[in-house]
Structure 1
């Protein structure tokens, strides 16, 4: 065996990136928005939501030396004024005041704000909420300022929170806040959700406006949380037909999911012609997730990000669900590399802290498929596609928008309107049952 003609010193080897850049004609500016304090909060010992998954993600990004290709921003907390752009004053006041020590004083209002096992009161709950919301708002500002083409916030994507209440581990809806900010400049925003759970909080927020189209791929059987997301939830008033749902069954595999995703997204973009995209990348749609029931591998999930990115529109990429932390962090590190157009080594960096969490394979791409029977037949998926296309055909091209100052009540989110929409959803659920 011949001797190598070049020998690197130890410092050079240590600083060699564990990725290979793709040769692309156009490099997009990618920013990474984080606040390390978000990973320090704790919902409770038995609660499936583990914010320390964010720390694992950051360590993987650093271990692969992706930070050398990113614009890093340590985000500030969202202000009370910013949070109240969407959430009700009474609800935010409650979040600010309640603590595990004084919770008995609030017993009468806990049901009103949907506080319970899913959404417990824990130390620093409000601080945690405004930290992840602040990073999503920062991502939106960088897009508006033209400083980023793609802005990433893995701590965000908490899509269940409502105007008046918490829901599904989510207290403040950072996605709605970021989209409201984007609407100050962009006429139309497309929201895409690939979490296993329906993006009900975002859909509800923009249910009566055509300035935002929501597109959610999720499990639906009428019972799986949050129990919404069937074909008949299409929007109301100006927003009629601008809520698009793709309900799926247990065990969908890589090929079926990616094929359906691509076959839906392209016609949506051609019809709606958004000015910007917000993509929620919930990791609970991966195979083997603690609360999930799909069979997706990391590369297939990432292919949805790559395809969305390929259209070249301003893009915010957010986290979301995901309850097996080692797989969540693998996924979001990989999707960071997808945004950067680099190819990562499969073997995880040996120098990174907490490597033990990734035993025994220490691989970026473990096999996560085949654990659940696929109940999505080709015939069923074809019928899903047909129904989605039928709804799209009712749209008469991209809606025209008169740009003006964004009102704080953009989607008509008054208490009366909120109650009306909830009544409509309840009736739809009763009919479905």
Structure 2
């Protein structure tokens, strides 16, 4: 088993307390459920646990436009009628609603991914986990698909300060369009997305023919799949493609987005993966022994998301977990069988062997066009991004650095967030 300090895990209880709205499928509460399940299996004793800093606006503006960041900072549910033009311009509304503490929510999940990248850059850990991150649809100037800030792009930009080549892998059922778009013209990031593809399935992008442009040509890889793909088909294809990608591209670090909406029975998904099949992808990526940043992503059947990311935390720790879920604050969600694993369903796999073979051949053809690993000469490593010092006396008292930021990355033996004041939503409709 890896030593405790080689795995860094980021969590802030406040991230699970925001509420997108009564009929919205995104439930950040799943993050509290995941964390308590991780605790119930004693996995926290095998990792270093950190509360992430809240990303500063200037950090978020490393990718996003300053005016969009400023808007997210200012907009509130109470004052929504003052922002009609901006709501339209920045794509906030039904899918991406304005809710209480929206900006703080973004700061926390983005801060976790930034902190994870920095710890990897400084070789303070081998694997960094931020289940709150992975919001892969957000664009430079727009929210999209329940995502406001693209923490993955920010984390990858951070990793590029120390690594010539970053490999991004996405197993969410939805195409990782925001990350692909951000790096579509560069060979320094290879994006590989396995996703459901079709005109009527969000976001409608990710054709196998979309391979990048200019310097980035052949460095975007899309694996479009059809409904009902099962463990055997998915993991066979995943391993073949990722093995060839790593061999060809020789990345210095990997970012793995583990969206759990590719599991069987997801509210918005249409794949048929068991947790074991999903986790097998994580196990395979870990086997390359490269620095690894792991995030969450989609996942809309909350109890299955918590199960999945707990199992995958175990995989990253080389720890087998018992199937019977130990008692924890959210145990009632896992009734009636209280078991960790979920099986595939009796669902037709519309991905024929011929179809999958054709997709694999097209991907391999793209990879053959990369004759050698890209010749990126690391000249001078850019300086680390320094956070500005704030003078509290000059700040608006309502915007002063709060206790979380003062406490950032202070780790104590008892800091396992047992008292997060989580609301018990046992009766909440899924």
Cα distance in 1 between the residues matched to 2:77 and 2:362: 47
Contact 1:216/1:246 (<8 A) preserved: yes
Stretch of structure 1 that moved more, 283-292 or 232-241: 232-241
SS of equivalent to 2:108: helix
Cα distance in 1 between the residues matched to 2:174 and 2:320: 29
Cα distance in 2 between the residues matched to 1:88 and 1:387: 35
Match of 1:267 in 2: 244
Deviation string for 1:164-221 (max 9, x for gaps)? 1000000000000000000100110000000000000000000111110000000001
SS of equivalent to 2:78: coil
Deviation at 1:222, TM superposition (A): 2.5
| Corresponding residue pairs, total | 383
Deviation at 1:109, TM superposition (A): 2.2
Contact 2:4/2:48 (<8 A) preserved: no
Deviation at 1:358, TM superposition (A): 0.3
Match of 1:375 in 2: 350
How do 1:120-269 residues align onto structure 2 when only pairs under 5 Å count? 120-269=97-246
Deviation at 1:28, TM superposition (A): 8.3
Residue among 63, 84, 106 paired with 1:107: 84
Contact 1:139/1:153 (<8 A) preserved: yes
Deviation string for 1:273-323 (max 9, x for gaps)? 000000000000000000000000001100000000000000000000000
Contact 1:346/1:363 (<8 A) preserved: yes
Deviation at 1:359, TM superposition (A): 0.6
Alignment of 1:280 with 2:257, yes or no, is yes
Q: Which 5+ residue runs of structure 1 have no aligned equivalent?
A: 1-20, 409-433
Contact 1:206/1:212 (<8 A) preserved: yes
Alignment of 1:363 with 2:363, yes or no, is no
Cα distance in 2 between the residues matched to 1:240 and 1:310: 28
Match of 2:365 in 1: 390
Instruction: Provide TM-score, normalisation by structure 1.
Output: 0.86
Match of 1:39 in 2: 16
SS of equivalent to 1:216: strand
Deviation string for 1:73-126 (max 9, x for gaps)? 111100111100000011111111111111111112212111121101111111
SS of equivalent to 1:163: coil
Cα distance in 1 between the residues matched to 2:5 and 2:241: 25
Residue among 318, 330, 354 paired with 2:330: 354
Contact 2:19/2:99 (<8 A) preserved: yes
Deviation at 1:231, TM superposition (A): 1.3
Cα distance in 2 between the residues matched to 1:376 and 1:391: 21
Cα distance in 2 between the residues matched to 1:64 and 1:47: 30
Contact 2:5/2:124 (<8 A) preserved: no
Match of 1:430 in 2: none
Cα distance in 1 between the residues matched to 2:349 and 2:107: 39
Alignment of 1:61 with 2:35, yes or no, is no
Contact 2:121/2:162 (<8 A) preserved: yes
Match of 2:406 in 1: none
SS of equivalent to 1:135: helix
Deviation string for 1:352-389 (max 9, x for gaps)? 1110100111000122x124321011111111111111
Cα distance in 2 between the residues matched to 1:159 and 1:42: 19
Contact 2:184/2:213 (<8 A) preserved: yes
Match of 2:67 in 1: 90
RMSD: 1.5
Deviation at 1:346, TM superposition (A): 0.6
Deviation string for 1:219-275 (max 9, x for gaps)? 001221000000121111111110000000000000000000000000100110000
Deviation string for 1:320-358 (max 9, x for gaps)? 000000000000000000000011101000x21110100
Contact 1:153/1:319 (<8 A) preserved: yes
Instruction: Provide TM-score, normalisation by structure 2.
Output: 0.87
Q: Which 5+ residue runs of structure 2 have no aligned equivalent?
A: 385-430
SS of equivalent to 1:213: strand
Contact 2:211/2:218 (<8 A) preserved: yes
SS of equivalent to 1:293: coil
Q: Closer, same or farther in 2 for the Cα pair 1:193/1:63, shift >3 Å? A: same
Cα distance in 1 between the residues matched to 2:83 and 2:120: 40
Deviation at 1:402, TM superposition (A): 2.6
Cα distance in 1 between the residues matched to 2:117 and 2:4: 20
Deviation string for 1:130-177 (max 9, x for gaps)? 110000011011101111100000000000000010000000000000
Cα distance in 1 between the residues matched to 2:272 and 2:349: 8
